[in-house]
Chains A and B, each alone.
Chain A
Amino acid sequence: MKYSVDENGFYGKFGGAYIPEMLHPNVEELRENYLKIMQSPDFQEELQALLKDYVGRPTPLYFAKRLSEKYNTQIYLKREDLNHTGAHKINNTVGQVLMAQRLGKKRIIAETGAGQHGVATATVCALMNLECIVYMGEVDILRQAPNVARMKMLGATVVPATSGSRTLKDATNEAIRDWINNPEDTYYIIGSVVGPHPYPDMVARFQAIISEEMKWQLKEKTGSENPNYVVACVGGGSNAAGAFYHYLDTPEVKLVAVEAAGMGVESGESAATSVLGKEGVIHGSRTLLMQTEDGQVTEPYSISAGLDYPGVGPMHAHLFESKRAIFENITDEEALQAVLELTRLEGIIPALESAHALAALSRIGAKPDDVVVVNLSGRGDKDLSTYLDRFQLNG
């Protein structure tokens, strides 16, 4: 079984580049060049230096002792929350901004849900002195206010997406429309393993640093580079793609992808795409998609803005269909409990997105000697107002 992308941009039957002709030259330019550029020594040198000294990599692999005792297994947290800007998203934006420079682009656009990708994009644009426009759903602007403030502070223009459900899907639509209207000078930094080929593959490759480090870190700590489980949350799926990447062809490592169930999978207010979706086309990619019988995209729901997406990256659709990954889903309530648990057991406040992965610990059936790595994709600062409210800690 092959889990990486094929020459036509497909993972099994998922993927491809279903884009209007207006985007064809840009996507084609990227497709022709991305591997060549990524593999060139000067690119790698610049990227590795930034990842080390600017982003702060390698991120620690932390043995969570009290959490391990609670679940009676060996739990390690891959601390992506300790990256500069507070999430794994910057692994990708550092890479893509260097890509944009190599392609001679002057203007950067991005979509964002929770705001972590928007902040990570605004950050690298400030660093590289590039104009930055971030599209963000109106609903998300309200629920992730601290990240909006950070983007503005960094000099980015935050444009509210006011169509549809006014969340990540709609922000992505608006970013794509911007790209159609600005085909010459603009580079679109997609934040997840979604979109037309080559984006899913390129973003997965930039995020693959997560599992690359995990391997040698586990080797040092446990004597084996392979854990029994890798657990990660999935919206579009970039942190999971990175955490799974170097284990895809190692079947003894169980990969657990955790989706957001929202108010419950059957409630009508959910974002659990693998359960609720069927094959379709969204944002340039053939994948699993939440939709009506008539093929209209359904508005998803999750308390977590970063997981509130009706599709999933084509790589994950393929991991689901081929049963290479185990898909779980976690409700808002369960995720919130996991936030509080990690905070009080380990002194780490996780992002709502990452809390979905933590909440799946009780589901996976790990044995006492099993090694479980949870990808702690982001920190919870952006969610503090939600937490204070839900845990009744105000005043």
Chain B
Amino acid sequence: MDNRIKTLFEQKPQGLLSVYFTAGYPNLEDTVPIILELEKNGVDLIEVGMPFSDPLADGPTIQQSSDIALRNGMTIPKLFEQLKNIRQQTQIPLVLMGYLNPVMQYGVERFCQKAQEIGIDGIILPDLPLSDYVREYKQVFEQHNLCKIFLVTPQTPEKRIREIDSHTNGFVYMVSSASTTGSTTGKAVANTDYFQRVRQMELRNPSLIGFGIHDNNTFSQACQHAKGAIIGSAFIKALAQEGTLQENIQSFIQRIRN
């Protein structure tokens, strides 16, 4: 079965820009307009964040956007409702990213089924461990043609990276440095040994680098070490600027791509 993530990596081998935003932020009904505007500005892949009350792997920016999104009334059923006609409007690869608990309450199988119906291509659940995924959920994800994307970090041993690579498809999400999301310390692209090490492993899957990518400089450096990079917190900050969604998104993507 075709999957838009796989097609993307086949067609565009370098310099991919993936953007994360929290669904329901800044306003409840911004989800579809943000997706369409990102596509219009040449973004390659979009990660739609499903807000959670206790986002352990996230720094303050995504914590706050999640709080606001939840207060605005965002839920998984609401998000699915918003996205139900999205494939009539765009073919950009879409990944849903969130934490396990809300998905568990919705029902993992029902969630995968609904995601496939809508035309979602991939899922990221940082707190679903590989072992549980393989034991309980892999079959369901694959049956619904969803790429389950896993994170690796500078501390992940080679053996585990190989294991993750063997059970996943779509891409490997390389966490740039040991941190929660949204760090701007500049550590993000400093760890070239780690990027090299992973590149030399010649994994089955392409990789994208995320966490701490926030400007043209960090984006282009990340692109030298992987197929592209993922931006989240910096984009969410841009959405909070004065101006319309269109203006903010356009100027942000221009700044990154430059």
Contact A183 B178 (CB under 8 A): yes
- Return A137 CB to nearest CB of chain B, in Å: 13
Contact B101 A281 (CB under 8 A): yes
- Return A293 CB to nearest CB of chain B, in Å: 7
Contact A296 B70 (CB under 8 A): yes
Contact B178 A180 (CB under 8 A): yes
Q: A173-B56, A176-B56, A181-B179 are in contact. Are A21 and B101 (CB under 8 A)?
A: no
Interface residues of A in 17-65 (CB under 8 A from B): 17-22, 24-25
Contact A18 B178 (CB under 8 A): no
**Is the C-beta of B61 less than 8 angstroms from some C-beta in chain A?**
no
Contact A164 B105 (CB under 8 A): no
Contact of B178 among A163, A182, A282, A284 (CB under 8 A): A182
Residue of B nearest to A25 (CB): B155
A24 to B159, CA, bound (A): 13
Residue of A nearest to B77 (CB): A294
**Is the C-beta of B128 less than 8 angstroms from some C-beta in chain A?**
yes
Q: Which A residues are CB-close (under 8 A) to B243?
A: none
Q: Which B residues are CB-close (under 8 A) to A281?
A: 99-101, 104, 127
**Is the C-beta of B52 less than 8 angstroms from some C-beta in chain A?**
yes
Contact B178 A21 (CB under 8 A): no
- Return B128 CB to nearest CB of chain A, in Å: 7
Interface residues of B in 69-99 (CB under 8 A from A): 70, 75-77, 99
Contact of B155 among A19, A22, A294, A295 (CB under 8 A): A22
Interface centre among A16, A22, A24, A281 (most CB of B within 10 A): A22
Contact B156 A25 (CB under 8 A): yes
A180 to B211, CA, bound (A): 12
Contact of A20 among B53, B56, B105 (CB under 8 A): B56
**Is the C-beta of B150 less than 8 angstroms from some C-beta in chain A?**
yes
Residue of B nearest to A27 (CB): B129
Contact B129 A294 (CB under 8 A): no
A21 to B179, CA, bound (A): 11
Q: Which B residues are CB-close (under 8 A) to A184?
A: 155, 178
Interface residues of B in 137-156 (CB under 8 A from A): 150-153, 155-156
**Is the C-beta of A177 less than 8 angstroms from some C-beta in chain B?**
yes
Contact B180 A21 (CB under 8 A): no
Contact B54 A173 (CB under 8 A): yes
Q: Which A residues are CB-close (under 8 A) to B151?
A: 20-22
Q: A18-B129, A19-B127 are in contact. Are A180 and B179 (CB under 8 A)?
A: yes
Contact A280 B127 (CB under 8 A): no
**Is the C-beta of B103 less than 8 angstroms from some C-beta in chain A?**
yes
Contact A294 B75 (CB under 8 A): yes
Q: Which A residues are CB-close (under 8 A) to B77?
A: 294
Contact of B59 among A177, A182, A282 (CB under 8 A): A177
Number of interface residues of A (CB under 8 A): 34
Contact of B57 among A20, A25, A182 (CB under 8 A): A20
**Is the C-beta of B15 less than 8 angstroms from some C-beta in chain A?**
no
- Return A104 CB to nearest CB of chain B, in Å: 15
Contact A180 B57 (CB under 8 A): yes
- Return B1 CB to nearest CB of chain A, in Å: 27
Residue of A nearest to B131 (CB): A8
- Return B253 CB to nearest CB of chain A, in Å: 28
**Is the C-beta of A289 less than 8 angstroms from some C-beta in chain B?**
yes
Q: Which B residues are CB-close (under 8 A) to A295?
A: 52, 76, 101-106
Residue of A nearest to B57 (CB): A20
Contact of B150 among A21, A173, A183, A284 (CB under 8 A): A21
Contact B101 A20 (CB under 8 A): no
**Is the C-beta of B31 less than 8 angstroms from some C-beta in chain A?**
no
Interface residues of A in 44-94 (CB under 8 A from B): none
**Is the C-beta of A139 less than 8 angstroms from some C-beta in chain B?**
no
Contact code string A1-24 (vs B, CB < 8 Å = 1, else 0): 000000010000000111111101
Q: Which B residues are CB-close (under 8 A) to A17?
A: 129
Contact code string B39-59 (vs A, CB < 8 Å = 1, else 0): 000000000000011101101
Q: Which A residues are CB-close (under 8 A) to B160?
A: 24
Interface centre among A16, A173, A279, A289 (most CB of B within 10 A): A173
Contact A16 B129 (CB under 8 A): yes
**Is the C-beta of A297 less than 8 angstroms from some C-beta in chain B?**
yes
Q: Which B residues are CB-close (under 8 A) to A280?
A: 101, 104-105
A276 to B151, CA, bound (A): 34
Q: Which B residues are CB-close (under 8 A) to A173?
A: 54, 56
A286 to B183, CA, bound (A): 29
- Return A36 CB to nearest CB of chain B, in Å: 19
A20 to B130, CA, bound (A): 10
Contact B152 A294 (CB under 8 A): no
Contact B180 A282 (CB under 8 A): no
A163 to B67, CA, bound (A): 9
A183 to B180, CA, bound (A): 11
Residue of A nearest to B178 (CB): A183
**Is the C-beta of A291 less than 8 angstroms from some C-beta in chain B?**
yes
**Is the C-beta of B202 less than 8 angstroms from some C-beta in chain A?**
no
A21 to B160, CA, bound (A): 10
- Return B20 CB to nearest CB of chain A, in Å: 15
Q: What are 28 sample pairs from A and B whose C-beta atoms fall under 8 A apart?
A: A16-B129, A18-B132, A19-B127, A20-B56, A20-B151, A21-B126, A21-B151, A21-B156, A24-B153, A25-B155, A25-B157, A169-B54, A173-B54, A180-B178, A180-B180, A181-B179, A184-B178, A280-B105, A283-B56, A291-B101, A294-B75, A294-B77, A294-B105, A294-B106, A295-B52, A295-B101, A297-B54, A297-B101
List residues of chain A with CB under 8 Å of any chain B CB.
Answer: 8, 16-22, 24-25, 163-164, 169, 173, 176-177, 180-184, 279-284, 289, 291, 293-297
For the complex of A and B, the 7 pairs showing the least CB-CB separation, nearest first, are A295-B102, A295-B105, A21-B151, A20-B126, A296-B53, A20-B57, A294-B75
